[in-house]
């Protein structure tokens, strides 16, 4: 039997080339600067493919239990940021400021303000170089205390073969 040379062919259409996912570690932070929650890497196999990135998780602010701010929410501005290769790709402003839940089973926890957050983003890498997807948080501290809790984070990236949507100059967003 003769040997056959295998070659890589570009497949067009809705073909999933690869899929990576990561269960993000929990994050507790009092920092007001941009803080990395966790990251994941993926190396596209084709330069014209699309990376579909999905994220879900919960973010909440505990109340500040220290005097003189006891019982007040620490921040009125919590942002969730998706960063790919050092560039901000997606931001959800006020990501932890809607519903309120009482944690009466632990009196020292105070009250918590937060919500579940979800993101979906299509990224055109335009290269087969390693792509690093980093989830970040930032918050503006209005009272100087308290704690931001990020939980149940799940990040998934799948490479879809190109040809569905054409690339845009400058790697612009694809909706």
Name, in order, each residue with C-beta under 8 angstroms of 44's C-beta and a sequence gap of 6 or more: 17, 51, 125, 127, 128, 129, 131, 159
What is the residue-wise DSSP string for 54-108?
EEEEEEEEEEE-STTSTTEESEEEEEEEEEETTEEEEEETTTT-SEEEE-TTSGG
69-101 pLDDT, tens per residue?
555 555 557 889 999 999 999 998 877 765 454
**Residue 62 or 32, more confident:** 32
State how many domains the chain has.
Answer: 1
Residue numbers of the domain that contains 61: 16-148
Short-list 121, 118, 120, 122, CA closest to 153: 118
- Residue 4 lies inside a defined structural domain of this protein: no
Q: Within a domain: residue 106?
A: yes
CA-based nearest residue to 126, from 173, 171, 158:
171
Residue 62: inside a domain: yes
Structure tokens at 129: 């170089």
Per-residue pLDDT tens for 96-122? 765 454 443 344 545 556 788 899 999
In a domain, 84, yes or no: yes
Tell me the pTM.
0.74
158 inside domain? no
pLDDT digits (tens, 9 = 90+) for 137-146: 987 765 555 5
Residue 110, in any domain of the structure: yes
Domain assignment present for 97: yes
Mean pLDDT estimate for the chain: 76
CATH number of the domain within which 33 lies: 2.60.120
Query: Does a structural domain hold residue 114?
Result: yes
Given this model, what pLDDT does residue 168 score?
46
């Amino acid at each position: 039997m003769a040997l056959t040379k295998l070659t890589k062919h570009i497949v067009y259409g809705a073909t999933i080339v690869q899929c990576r996912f990561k269960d993000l570690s929990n994050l507790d932070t009092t920092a007001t600067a941009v803080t990395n929650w966790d990251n994941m890497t993926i190396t596209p196999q084709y330069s014209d493919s699309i990376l579909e990135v999905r994220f879900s998780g919960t973010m909440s602010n505990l109340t500040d239990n220290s005097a003189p701010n006891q019982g007040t929410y620490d921040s009125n501005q919590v942002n969730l940021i998706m960063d790919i290769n050092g560039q901000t790709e997606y931001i959800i402003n006020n990501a932890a400021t809607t519903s309120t839940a009482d944690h009466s089973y632990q009196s020292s926890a105070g009250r918590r303000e937060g919500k579940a957050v979800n993101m979906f983003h299509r990224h055109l890498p335009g290269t087969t170089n390693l792509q690093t997807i980093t989830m970040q948080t930032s918050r503006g501290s209005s009272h100087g205390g308290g704690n931001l809790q990020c939980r149940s984070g799940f990040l998934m990236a799948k490479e879809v073969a190109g040809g569905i949507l054409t690339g845009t100059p400058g790697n612009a967003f694809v909706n």
